[in-house]
């Protein structure tokens, strides 16, 4: 493909992005030095202006200024803006999903699924607005009642990553809003246009239901913009999604000002395949978890731990499935693997494959670049690599479609291998042996925040809390009781007697 054709294709993608933004009611951004690129072609979609320390300070100030009134609105009434947002997401699902594809490179089915996830978490948050429960406990003192109440926390800063450019924002924002918080969002500089679209839809939802749109702010730019959120004492909670390296830098700075952190960091996820496993089911789950989103999910499957007796068969089946995966333009029907986000991601993949060979690994298939659209787009075939042991490389997370295969002889060894990484996000086991399944889910089984049986490591549902342990950061978002991270708790003692007894039977005076 000639450069002229590539440039023409990039221009068509840019025009499409402009049309999608216009259709969702977003004003085209003021041109600047932040370049929104499409990994499909590597070309520029739109140039945007980077926020400055002054404009970030003003955005935080607006969110802080809106908070006092917003926190006094009853939670079920606050849910009205989230309900309207869900309606707008339904109306613009196709357009927003296409914008996700243009900016993040996801295939259409996954992009539509991500927007559906936004709709689902809005529905969850709407119901949650009537279930922000506090407990009542028996008091040891007669004529007293002991209880706890939950109150809005303040300004929530959200720093999101490119691989789920809209869903993770929705997880945080829908719940934070019904909890009575205001939000300042700093999206990945790789996906600023999807952020602009979401911000537009939320502010429209706020206006439609009579809510002050200043409850949500958007700031765009590089890491220096994120640093402003990290260090500002007006940001009560910082929810940050990204690398372990990023989390290690962010957490001490937030702690130094006694702020709160909710961290969703790296995952080096494993699946165990036991001799009793349904291999047809296992192979489907493994291929989707390892190759989906071009291996660029935090829950992507990166390590496969297979019983030695079935290892050759399992590897052969996966290799055969990999040959059927169509790599290409994610806008085209039938494509299952889109591009890596940029050159850096491709380089990291190639460096990891070289190291794998140096550490005794054998590439079964994949790993090569597919030159489809020009020199600035990076497509690669998912790689399957057999490793002789659990090396340092295997213990690292490479954000690319590489699946390392290890073997085991007994289930204790398999669990030990699963846990022998610094990260602790997601894990799974494929087995029809109930004892193995229950052991995997027990206290001495998987040490991850997500542990699945007969399903892959990716594809979490809204209803369950999402997050992981160890270097993954320990945060929980989305379902279950993750709402508690966005609120402060007060313990209340009410004396309805005419006496003043002290706790622990103390007598004074």
How far is it, in rounded angstroms, from Cα 229 to Cα 251?
12
As for how many domains the chain has, the answer is 2
> Does residue 264 carry a catalytic annotation?
yes
Q: Backbone phi, then psi, for 109, in 5-degree steps? A: -60, -40
| 479 in a structural domain | yes
**Helices (runs of H) and strands (runs of E) counted in the chain:** 15, 23
> What CATH number corresponds to the domain at position 60?
3.40.605.10
Indicate which residue of 98, 264, 436, 477 is catalytic: 264
Residues 228 and 305 in one domain: no
Same domain, residue pair 446 and 481: no
* Element at 207 (helix H, strand E): helix 192-208
- CATH number, domain of 335, equals 3.40.309.10
32 falls within a domain: no
Is there a single domain that holds both residue 328 and residue 382? yes
236 & 365 share domain: no
pLDDT confidence of residue 264: 97
DSSP state of 214: G
Do 276 and 289 share a domain, yes or no?
yes
Same domain, 165 and 306: no
Quote the pLDDT of residue 373: 86
Query: CA–CA separation, 419 vs 448, rounded Å?
Result: 8
Give the chain's mean pLDDT: 96
Is the same domain home to 373 and 346? yes
Q: Specify whether 350 is located in the same domain as 403.
A: yes
At residue 38, the 3 state secondary structure works out as: coil
16 occurs within a structural domain: no
Instruction: Please report whether residue 84 resides in a domain.
Output: yes
Nearest in space to 203 (alpha carbons), one of 172, 235, 177: 177
From residue 30, give the alpha-carbon distance in Å to each of 48, 100, 110, 302, 473.
Answer: 6, 20, 30, 40, 36
Same domain, 243 and 356: no
Q: Are residues 307 and 204 in the same domain?
A: no
- Which residues of the chain fall below pLDDT 50? 1
Does the residue 47 lie in any domain? no
219: in domain: yes
Burial of 501 (0-12, 13-18, 19+ CB in 10 A): middle
Residue 21 lies in a domain: no
**Is 5 part of a structural domain of the chain?**
no
The tokens for 259 are 């702020």
Q: Which domain holds residue 260?
A: 52-265+473-489
Q: Are 291 and 175 in the same domain?
A: no
User: 208 and 68, same structural domain?
Assistant: yes
What's the confidence (pLDDT) of residue 3? 56
């Amino acid at each position: 493909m000639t450069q002229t054709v590539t440039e023409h294709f990039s221009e068509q993608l840019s025009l499409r992005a402009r049309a999608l933004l216009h259709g969702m009611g977003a004003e085209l951004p003021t041109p600047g030095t932040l370049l929104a690129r499409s990994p499909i072609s590597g070309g520029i979609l739109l140039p945007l202006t980077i926020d400055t320390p002054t404009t970030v300070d003003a955005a935080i100030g607006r969110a802080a200024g809106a908070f006092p009134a917003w926190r006094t609105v009853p939670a079920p009434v606050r849910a009205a803006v989230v309900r309207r947002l869900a309606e707008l997401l339904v109306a613009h699902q196709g357009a927003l999903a296409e914008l996700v594809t243009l900016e993040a490179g996801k295939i259409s089915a996954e992009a539509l699924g991500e927007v559906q996830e936004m709709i689902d978490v809005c529905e969850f948050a709407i119901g949650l607005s009537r279930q922000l429960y506090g407990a009542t406990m028996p008091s040891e003192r007669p004529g007293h009642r002991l209880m706890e109440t939950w109150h809005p926390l303040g300004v929530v800063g959200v720093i999101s990553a490119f691989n789920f450019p809209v869903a993770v924002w929705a997880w945080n924002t829908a719940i934070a809003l019904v909890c009575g918080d205001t939000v300042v969002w700093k999206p990945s500089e790789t996906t600023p246009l999807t952020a602009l679209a979401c911000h537009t839809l939320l502010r429209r939802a706020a206006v439609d239901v009579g809510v002050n749109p200043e409850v949500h702010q958007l700031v765009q730019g590089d890491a220096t913009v994120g640093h402003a959120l990290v260090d500002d004492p007006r940001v009560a909670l910082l929810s940050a999604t990204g690398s372990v390296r990023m989390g290690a830098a962010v957490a001490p700075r937030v702690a130094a000002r006694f702020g709160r952190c909710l961290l969703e960091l790296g995952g080096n996820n494993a699946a165990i395949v036991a001799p009793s496993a349904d291999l047809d089911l296992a192979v489907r789950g493994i291929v989707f978890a390892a190759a989906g989103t071009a291996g660029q999910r935090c829950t992507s499957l990166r390590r496969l731990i297979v019983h030695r007796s079935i290892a050759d068969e399992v590897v052969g089946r996966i290799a055969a499935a990999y040959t059927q995966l169509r790599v290409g333009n994610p806008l085209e029907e039938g494509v299952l693997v889109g591009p890596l986000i940029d050159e850096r991601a491709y380089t990291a993949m190639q460096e990891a494959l070289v190291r794998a060979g140096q550490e005794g690994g054998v590439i079964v298939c994949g790993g090569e670049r597919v030159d489809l659209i020009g020199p600035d787009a990076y497509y690669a075939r998912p790689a399957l690599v057999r490793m002789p042991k659990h090396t340092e490389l295997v213990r690292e997370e490479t954000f690319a479609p590489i699946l390392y295969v290890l073997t085991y002889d007994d289930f204790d060894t398999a669990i030990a291998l699963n846990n022998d990484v610094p990260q602790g996000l997601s894990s799974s086991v494929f087995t029809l042996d109930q004892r193995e399944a229950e052991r995997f889910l027990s206290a001495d089984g998987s040490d991850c925040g997500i542990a699945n049986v007969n399903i892959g490591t990716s594809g979490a549902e809204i209803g369950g809390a999402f997050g992981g342990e160890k270097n993954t950061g320990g945060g929980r978002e989305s379902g279950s009781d993750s709402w508690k991270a966005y609120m402060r708790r007060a313990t209340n003692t009410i004396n309805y007697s005419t006496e003043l007894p002290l706790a622990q039977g103390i007598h004074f005076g």
